């Protein structure tokens, strides 16, 4: 094998302090570790990936790596420090004996193919290659006696990124030789060991997740919007009052249906199912089943909202149009919006309810029934990060 990428995933993520180590947290596109591994396995010049992981994270590792074939080599156990984890991974590759290794932090799931290529190209000329970025913020050096410290010339500094590339035999020997000493990353170890080094430009979007806020920002960036629409019609018949968006409106007729015939919430429920690609209301609550007779439509809406949440989505906004001559919607609009917002667990400002007539035309114009149209947008989001 020519090139193996080592992905270090044996940290505890103390600074991020998430319910699981940050490399196992879910982003909209998948767990952080899954994304990091995929970036390398998809690169045409990378032959295999070797991960270092703590023994107690075996189950999370198994889940995160389910999508991959045997180009993902059996994992190796991490160590107490990043350096130890890297050394273990390098040792695990003895049999494979690749020509080049790329050592990468699992906490950088956004690494792009171009950066991987830059590192590999430069490896033809140097024993060790590091991507770096200029420091763009002003830099201040803290001093013991002065709260603000002293400004520093930032042009003298740069930030180190991964993947860092090495000739396998050289970096393995360097790690073995300096096993007792502590280095921040493989670049500093390689430099200390006297390998010929070069830098290539890093990538600003190759961010390293350090804090929970980094995870949140990444989740935001990966979020996808899904749109759903729903339509429903119910006939008006003898009775007193109609229920729309969970609110009882006075009327001299009533909506006819198997359930409480809340046509507006039925349309909304279908819109949510639609955005999720999860069938429709008739499939989940068949009118042929007696247990849904006279059922409060809130039960249907709650089901759709719960499905959205378990699919990792949150509702962004709801837009409803109700078509009828009577009853008049406007006096009840605020209450209908409030009930809908509460059911959808969103701000009332994210719910629009509009009413229109058909100028007396058609079945709605003749007062034979009510039509409702709903549009909803959902956003994929991260599992809640404390």
**Angle, CA of 175, 80 and 8, to the nearest 5°:** 65
Please, which of residues 268-287 interact with ligand CTP by CB under 6 A?
Answer: none
9 binds ligand CTP (CB under 6 A): yes
DSSP string of 271-293, one letter each residue: HHHHHHT---HHHHS-TTSGGGT
Which residue sits closest to ligand CTP, CB atoms considered?
11
Q: Which is nearer to ligand CTP, 17 or 143 (CB)?
A: 17
CA distance from start to end of the chain: 42
Q: Which stretch binds ligand CTP (CB under 6 A): 10-18, 287-295, 316-324, 350-358?
A: 10-18
37, 60, 78, 333: which one binds ligand CTP (CB under 6 A): 78
| Token digits of residue 63 | 């889940």
Q: Which is nearer to ligand CTP, 7 or 272 (CB)?
A: 7
Helix axes 82-92, 168-177, angle to 10 degrees: 130
Provide the minimum distance between the beta carbon of 18 and ligand CTP in the complex, in angstroms, as a whole number: 10
Distances (CA, A) of 239 to 13, 242, 244, 304: 62, 9, 15, 29
174 binds ligand CTP (CB under 6 A): no
Q: Which is nearer to ligand CTP, 208 or 314 (CB)?
A: 208
Which residue is listed with tokens 């015939």?
A: 261
Provide the minimum distance between the beta carbon of 120 and ligand CTP in the complex, in angstroms, as a whole number: 21
| Token digits of residue 151 | 């400004």
Q: 3-state DSSP call for residue 313?
A: strand
82 binds ligand CTP (CB under 6 A): yes
State the binding string over 189-228 for ligand CTP (x if CB under 6 A, else -): -------------------x-x------------------
Residue 229's DSSP bridge partners are 375
4, 35, 48, 106: which one binds ligand CTP (CB under 6 A): 106
Q: H or E element: which one contains 146? A: none
79, 113, 241, 367: which one binds ligand CTP (CB under 6 A): 79
DSSP state of 72: B
Closest CA to 203 of 132, 138, 128, 103: 132
Please, which of residues 18-37 interact with ligand CTP by CB under 6 A?
Answer: 23
Provide the minimum distance between the beta carbon of 301 and ligand CTP in the complex, in angstroms, as a whole number: 41
Give the interface with ligand CTP as residue ranges (CB under 6 A). Answer: 8-15, 23, 52, 78-82, 85, 105-107, 208, 210
């Amino acid at each position: 094998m020519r090139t193996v990428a080592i992905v270090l995933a044996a940290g505890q993520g103390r600074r991020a302090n998430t319910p699981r180590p940050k490399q196992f947290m879910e982003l909209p596109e998948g767990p952080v570790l899954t994304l990091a591994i995929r970036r390398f396995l998809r690169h045409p010049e990378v032959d295999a990936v070797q991960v270092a992981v703590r023994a107690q994270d075996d189950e999370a590792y198994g889940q995160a790596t389910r999508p991959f074939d045997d180009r993902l080599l059996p994992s190796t156990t991490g160590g107490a420090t990043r350096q130890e984890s890297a050394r273990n991974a390098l040792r695990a590759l003895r049999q494979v004996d690749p020509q080049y290794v790329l050592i990468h932090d699992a906490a950088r799931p956004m690494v792009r193919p171009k950066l991987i290529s830059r590192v590999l190209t430069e490896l033809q000329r140097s024993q060790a290659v590091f991507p770096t970025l200029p420091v763009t913020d002003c830099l201040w050096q803290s001093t013991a006696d002065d709260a603000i410290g002293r400004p520093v010339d930032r042009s003298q500094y740069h930030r180190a990124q991964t993947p860092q590339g090495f000739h396998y035999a050289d970096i393995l020997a360097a790690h073995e030789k300096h096993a007792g000493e502590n280095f921040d990353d493989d670049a500093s170890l390689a430099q200390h060991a006297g390998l010929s080094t070069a830098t290539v430009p890093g990538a600003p979007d190759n961010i390293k997740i350090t804090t929970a806020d980094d995870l949140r920002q990444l989740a935001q960036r990966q979020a996808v919007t899904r749109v759903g629409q729903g339509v429903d019609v119910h006939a008006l018949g003898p009775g007193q009052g109609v229920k729309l968006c969970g609110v009882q409106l006075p009327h001299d007729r009533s909506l006819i249906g198997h359930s409480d015939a809340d046509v507006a919430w039925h349309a909304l429920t279908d819109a949510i199912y639609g955005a999720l690609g999860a069938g429709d209301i008739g499939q989940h609550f068949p009118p042929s089943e007696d247990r849904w007779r006279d059922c409060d439509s809130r039960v249907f809406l709650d089901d759709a909202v719960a499905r959205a949440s378990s699919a990792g989505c949150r509702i962004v906004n709801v837009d409803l149009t109700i078509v009828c001559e009577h009853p008049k919607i406007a006096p009840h609009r605020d209450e209908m919006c409030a009930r809908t917002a509460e059911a959808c667990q969103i701000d009332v400002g994210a719910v629009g309810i509009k009413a229109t007539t058909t100028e007396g035309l058609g079945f709605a114009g003749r007062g034979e029934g009510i039509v409702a149209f709903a549009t909803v947008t959902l956003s994929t989001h991260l599992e809640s990060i404390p």
